[in-house]
Amino acid sequence: MGTTFIEYASWFFETTVFIYGVGLLLIYAILAILSFVNIRLFLRKESYTDYKVIVGSPLAPGISVIAPAFNEGLTIISNIRSLLTFDYPNYEVIIINDGSTDDTLQKVIDEFSLVQVDFAYDVKLSAKPVRGVYKSTDEAYAKLLVVDKENGKAKADATNVGINVSAFPYFLCTDVDCILHTQTLQMLIKPIMEEEKKRVMATGATLRMANSCEVDEGVLITIKAPRPLLARFQELEYIRSFVLGKMGWSYINAVPNVSGGLGLFDKEIAVKSGGYDPASFGEDMELRMRMSRYVYDNKIDASVRYIPNTLCWTEGPTSVKIFMRQRTRWARGLLQLMLAHKKMLFNPAYGRVGLVVFPYNFFFELLAPVIEFLGIIYYIFLIYFGLVNWPYAIILLIFVYTYSVMISTLSVLWDQLTFQYYRTWKDVARIAAMVFIEMLIYHPLIVVFSIRGYYFQLTNRKHSWGNMQRAGFKKKADDKVPKNTNPAAT
């Protein structure tokens, strides 16, 4: 009886995992093809696009750039100067001082000749109280608006305040220390302005690691592949996630997430959806889901678009401890999101989001670490009882390994076919080398930290935000905590 049950359970587990594995591999293969088609289409269009037409045009839609800052005293001045250099005619920069305990606010007041002003705004999204709003007396900084508020213990809370005070119909959500390309606004608004039938509710672009790049006063001087191993793994992960994953999803209008580090949003839809959720650990993905729910519930034909250009460079953690904290939080956010929006799973009322995006996130993002973890335990069980057919097991392991190497290599190839950000062979080789060891070193870490995140979420463990302070860009990168630029949900 017992043997029969074990045999039945084994058969069930193996069959389920087999179907699951085949499904995952097929999805990656389809994504690789779709992203290739989409990137080629983008490049063909891009070859004759003249972005200069928007510079100085009175028809350019207004964009509010929202960048929360918490204890960024070391780098805040160069960060703001960097944000004030966009090649775009109609934008404002809103810096939210999220109750910093250092001298962030005072430095900004002194540097940009700020004075407190009587500022009226509509509290469309609830957030912690605002202590003061500042404008510059220097005409050169007329685009700058600084809001000082009580600490809300979440980027979402600060961003909501930014949305409340913003003047324009679109807002760009970023982190104050992200390094953005000067053409970011024009490149992100273009998919919105060239869509024929749908209303584009959000656009995003690729993010990369800035760890070993040369940066001067918030401006990127030289792009280099990260030297620290952990950051280099993340670079590969970001390339695969953005260039291969999101470009593929974008082709069928099923982008699962717009990264918190860089995303341009339709303010009306974001506000009507309720804005960012400060209680969420993955507020970027959560907002995307809520916006989708809103547009489907209100029968608005909307889409989310991605472009393959890298427009944002961000520092990735270089110590395992900080990396663990980041990934644990992302995993908690994913589980939280799935539970909060479970109604959308396989719900045809939510179109592709309900039938593609949500099931993908559920089965292949949320469950993947659990299934892998169970698989390892099952493997140990089989080894212990001498039930492993070693030749077959080795063939299957080689199969999974070579397939994963192929997908990652294709993403590097797609990246190289598009823009060739790295100027030297050495940089390409550095990233390409990661393809072969990622599965052995980096991937197990992701699985363990994800399981940890799920466990913490299920046991309602209090989240520790840790020290979010930054040391700023240096030639030799220090360990820093990255922002919520989750590329996980490809």
Partner 1 sequence: MWKDLVDLLFQAYEQFSLLPLFIEIALAFIIIAIAATIFAYGAILYKRYRTYVHEKRVAFISPIIEELITDQVLLNENLGKDIPTEEIEFDKEALSNKVYKKPFVRQILIETLIQYRKNFRGEVGELLRKLYIDMDLQKDSFAKMKSMRWERKIKAVVELTQMDISISDVTILPLTNSTNPSLRAAARNAYIQLSKNEPFKFFDIATEPLLPWDQLEMFKIITTTKDIAIPNFSRWVSYSSNKSVVSFCLKLIAHYDQQSAIPAVMELLNNKDHYFRADAIICLGKLSAEVAEEKMVRIYNHQPLNCQVEILKAMGAIASGKYLEFLKTEFLYSSNFDIRMNAARAIIKHNTQNSRLLVEELMEMTHEENQLIIKHCLNPLIKY
Q: Write out the binding residues for partner 1, residues 427-466 only, by CB under 8 A.
A: 428, 432
Give the C-alpha separation, 72 to 149, whole Å: 15
Q: In this complex, which beta carbon is closest to partner 1, that of residue 19 or of residue 320?
A: 19
Tokens of 250: 């974008």
Find the shortest distance in angstroms from Cβ 48 to partner 1. 5
Q: Are 334 and 361 contacting, i.e. CB atoms less than 8 angstroms apart? A: yes
Q: In this complex, which beta carbon is closest to partner 1, that of residue 124 or of residue 153?
A: 124
Q: Write out the binding residues for partner 1, residues 342-381 only, by CB under 8 A.
A: none
Q: In this complex, which beta carbon is closest to partner 1, that of residue 188 or of residue 344?
A: 188
Where does 112-230 show beta strands of DSSP type E? 114-117, 130-136, 144-149, 170-174, 179-180, 199-209, 214-216, 219-222
Q: Which of 78, 83, 92, 172: binder of partner 1 (CB under 8 A)?
A: 92
Q: In this complex, which beta carbon is closest to partner 1, that of residue 135 or of residue 443?
A: 135
Task: Answer yes or no whether residue 122 interacts with partner 1 by CB under 8 A.
Answer: yes
Q: Which of 19, 30, 117, 380: binder of partner 1 (CB under 8 A)?
A: 117
Q: In this complex, which beta carbon is closest to partner 1, that of residue 197 or of residue 476?
A: 197
Task: Answer yes or no whether residue 426 interacts with partner 1 by CB under 8 A.
Answer: no
Largest CA distance in the chain: 83
Task: Answer yes or no whether residue 300 interacts with partner 1 by CB under 8 A.
Answer: no
How many other C-beta atoms can be found within 10 angstroms of the C-beta atom of residue 183? 18
Task: Answer yes or no whether residue 137 interacts with partner 1 by CB under 8 A.
Answer: yes
Tell me how many residues contact partner 1 (CB under 8 A): 53
Side chain identity at residue 416, one-letter code: Q
Q: Are 159 and 128 contacting, i.e. CB atoms less than 8 angstroms apart? A: no
Task: Answer yes or no whether residue 11 interacts with partner 1 by CB under 8 A.
Answer: no
Alpha-helical segments (H) within 214-319: 229-238, 247-251, 267-272, 283-297
Task: Answer yes or no whether residue 385 interacts with partner 1 by CB under 8 A.
Answer: no
Find the shortest distance in angstroms from Cβ 25 to partner 1. 8
Strand 170-174: give its sheet, edge to edge. Answer: 114-117, 130-136, 144-149, 91-98, 63-69, 170-174, 262-266, 199-209, 302-314, 179-180
Task: Answer yes or no whether residue 135 interacts with partner 1 by CB under 8 A.
Answer: yes
Tally of CA atoms within 13 A in the half-sphere of 168 that contains its CB: 20
Q: Which of 16, 85, 420, 467: binder of partner 1 (CB under 8 A)?
A: 420
Burial of residue 259, with CB atoms counted within 10 A of its CB: 0-12 exposed, 13-18 middle, 19 or more buried: buried
Binding site for partner 1 (CB under 8 A): 18, 25, 44-45, 47-48, 50, 53-54, 57-62, 92, 115, 117-120, 122, 135-137, 142, 167-168, 190, 192-196, 392, 395-396, 398-399, 402-403, 405-406, 409-410, 412-413, 416-417, 420, 425, 428, 432
